[in-house]
Amino acid sequence: MLVEGDDVRPVLSEHAGDGGDDAGLIVAGDEQAGGIGLRHGDSSRVCIDSAVDAPSGRIARAPRDALHPRDGRLTYPESMEASDLGLVLVPLLAVAAPLLARGVRPVVRVPIVVFELVLGILIGPAVLGWVETGPLLEKLSDFGLALLFFVAGTEIDFTKVAGRPLARASLGWLLSVMLGIGLGFFFAPGEGMVVIGIALSSTALGTLIPILRDARELDSPFGRAISAIGAVGEFLPLIAISIFLSTRTTPIATAVLLTFVVLAGLAVLLATRVSHGRLHRIVRATLHTSDQFGVRFVILLIAALVGLSVMLDLDMLLGAFVAGAIWRIIMARAPKKDAEEVESKIEAIAFGFLVPIFFLYTGVTFDLQALLTSPSALALVPIFLIALLVIRGSAAQLSAPPGASARDRAALGLLAATGLPIIVAVTAIGVDQDMIDTGTAAALVGAGMLSVLLYPLIGMTLRGDRAEVVGPERAAESTQGEL
């Protein structure tokens, strides 16, 4: 393991307590070096128990507690402590979020995700610095995002949204992405405007599903319209990312995507043509045993489709979404009670464990400093927030149910303009490929956070408080239903 910096000077430090010579280093300069917490310019000394090659300034070995958890670089032990603290604080705040949501419910119905995002920002490096990024939380966050898209895929009943609703939703998305790219031209000409266009054309269906379910809106004309808008608003942006933001040339990226479509299509065809009677019987027989075949099969399905996406260098969320749609097809003819029980187990894993980690980690990694230190970036937040509503909300009117009132149309536009997961994914790609700067990315993510906070709250208020008819038993079961 080698550690290099712009100005790394090896020293010998007297280790307190044993009087022995331990190797150490002093870093000078202006930039951050090595990892979290080790900075040039603060003359900070980090003691290690290995020899230093003085002429080269290279360190051959360092103890485990002096290594950055992600890339093996030297860092303060305090950074590791902050990373370890996150393993306790994140679950603690995941429990606190629904309690806070219930506490303010008599005054206002705030989605749980709002508390998760705010709490993540609070404990992250931008504010208190109690939790820092690390490989374990990052992977759990990725799994949470994948499960969020899987659940969204399972909730789409193509027999109800196929035809006119899906066609109008697709037309609305095309209108949205063109308007978004047009607006993006003024802020990031070139490839950056494509990033902005995709971000502003997305809809967070996975975030809206629990809200619609708890309000008993999923099977209503309004709910079916949102399902169609959300399905298109999650799936087509992923297609656009795979084609236009790929590191490959556009023809090759398109060919790779078509390969995935063909393979996924074969999986869908197999799911629709093959009898699943034996599979259903095994699922039912293991519902209340340690075998839990249904849950294991779902995890395998997600892993297979996500793995295929990764192998083809596509966004993993594309595979997760398709996996959800395939699972719904497989269980379409299963006894309703069995299908719902497996679904509840998967949602328990998703909304009880991994999805909260995704939203909390999104808050932890949110670049608040990029906004606070840049007035221009901060000014973009309300601009993008309004753009989401105008661009996505207006296009969503094409999918409004026949005879929808003005209030219902307004609610439809507000829910359609709710976006965050795709925004997080596409801005990360944009920053990594130098298509947009960190300030613009932070402004887009900030607008996405505010859209999750404001638009569902206002939209469901316009629709009327349908959640009151759910009943106390259902309300007690749904601790994550405010998402």
Report yes or no on 165 lying in a domain: yes
Q: Is the pLDDT of residue 213 over 60?
A: yes
Cα–Cα distance for residue pair 144/206, rounded to 1 Å: 11
Q: How many CA atoms lie within 13 A of 124 on its CB side?
A: 21
Contacts by residues 242-251 (CB-CB < 8 Å, ≥ 24 positions apart): 242/314, 242/315, 242/318, 244/191, 244/194, 244/198, 245/191, 245/194, 245/195, 245/198, 245/426, 245/429, 245/430, 245/433, 245/435, 246/313, 247/313, 247/433, 248/313
User: Are residues 117 and 154 located together in one domain of the fold?
Assistant: yes
Strands 32-35 and 38-39: antiparallel
User: Distance between CA atoms of 436 and 190, rounded to whole angstroms?
Assistant: 10
Report residue 57's pLDDT band, with 50, 70 and 90 as the boundaries.
very low
Please report, rounded to a whole number, the percentage of residues in the chain having pLDDT higher than 90: 13
| pLDDT 10s digits, 357-409 | 888 988 888 888 888 888 888 999 999 999 999 999 888 898 888 888 888 89
143/244 same-domain check: yes
Record the tokens describing residue 314, joined without a space: 């596509």
Same domain, 66 and 212: no
Name the band, by pLDDT with cuts 50, 70 and 90, for residue 56. very low
- Residues shown for the chain: 483
96-150 residue pLDDT tens: 998 998 888 788 777 788 888 889 889 888 888 888 877 888 888 888 888 988 9
- On whether residue 1 sits in a domain, the answer given is no
Q: Is 106 part of any domain? A: yes
409 within domain boundaries: yes
Q: What is the DSSP letter of 222?
A: H
- The answer as to whether 336 is a domain residue is no
Does 370 map to a domain? yes
Q: Residue 286 — pLDDT band, cuts 50, 70, 90?
A: confident
Nearest-Å Rg of the Cα atoms of the chain is 24
Q: Is the pLDDT of residue 475 over 60?
A: no
pLDDT at 201: 92
Say if residue 46's pLDDT is above 70.
no
In the predicted model, what is the mean pLDDT of residues 443-472? 75
Question: Band of the pLDDT at 5, cuts 50, 70, 90?
Answer: very low
Comparison of pLDDT for 22 and 322, the residue scoring more: 322
pLDDT recorded at residue 432: 84
- Per the structure, the complete domain to which residue 16 belongs is given by 8-71
Three-state DSSP class for 22? Answer: strand
Residues 53-77 have a mean pLDDT of: 42
- Same-domain check for residues 41 and 163: no
What pLDDT, on a 0 to 100 scale, did the predictor assign at position 303? 92
Sorting pLDDT into bands at 50, 70 and 90, what band is 189?
confident
Residues 18, 149 within the same domain = no
Residues 456 and 369 reside in one and the same domain = yes
Whole-prediction pTM? 0.70
Per the structure, the count of domains in the chain is: 2
Which of the listed residues 36, 71, 106 is the one where a domain comes to its end? 71
Asked if 137 and 62 sit in the same domain, the reply is: no
Residue 78 has pLDDT above 80, yes or no: no
- Give the pLDDT band of residue 250 (cuts 50, 70, 90): low
Whether 105 and 18 map to the same domain: the answer is no
| pLDDT reported for residue 61 | 40
- Percent over 70 (pLDDT), the chain: 76
Q: Of 55-64, 170-179, 322-331, which gets the smallest average pLDDT?
A: 55-64
Specify burial of residue 306 (Cβ count, 10 A radius: 0-12, 13-18, 19+). buried
Between 420 and 475, residue with greater pLDDT = 420
Residue 224 belongs to a domain: yes
Q: Are residues 106 and 196 in the same domain?
A: yes
Q: What is the pLDDT of residue 9?
A: 43
Q: Are 229 and 203 in contact (CB under 8 A)?
A: yes
Same domain, 15 and 156: no
Q: Does the pLDDT at position 248 exceed 80?
A: no
Residue 410 has a pLDDT of: 92
Residue 27 has pLDDT above 90, yes or no: no
Strand-pair partners of 24: 11, 47
Q: Write the secondary structure of 50-81 as one string of H (helix), E (strand) and C (coil).
A: CCEECCCCEECCCCHHHECCCCCCECCHHHHH
d(CA 201, CA 241): 12
Check pLDDT > 80 for residue 196.
Answer: yes
Give the end-to-end CA distance of the chain in Å, rounded to a whole number.
Answer: 43
pLDDT at res. 12: 40
Contact 227, 205 (CB under 8 A): yes
Please give the DSSP secondary-structure letter assigned to residue 289. Answer: S
Higher pLDDT, 232 or 72: 232
pLDDT of residue 50 exceeding 50, the answer is no
206 alpha-carbon distance from chain centroid = 10
Report if residue 262 sits inside a domain. no
Q: What's 207's domain CATH number? A: 1.20.1530.20
The residue among 283, 321, 319, 289 whose CA lies nearest residue 304 is 319
In terms of domains, do 17 and 158 share one?
no
Say yes or no: 45 and 111 in one domain: no
Please report the pLDDT score of residue 465 as a whole number: 53
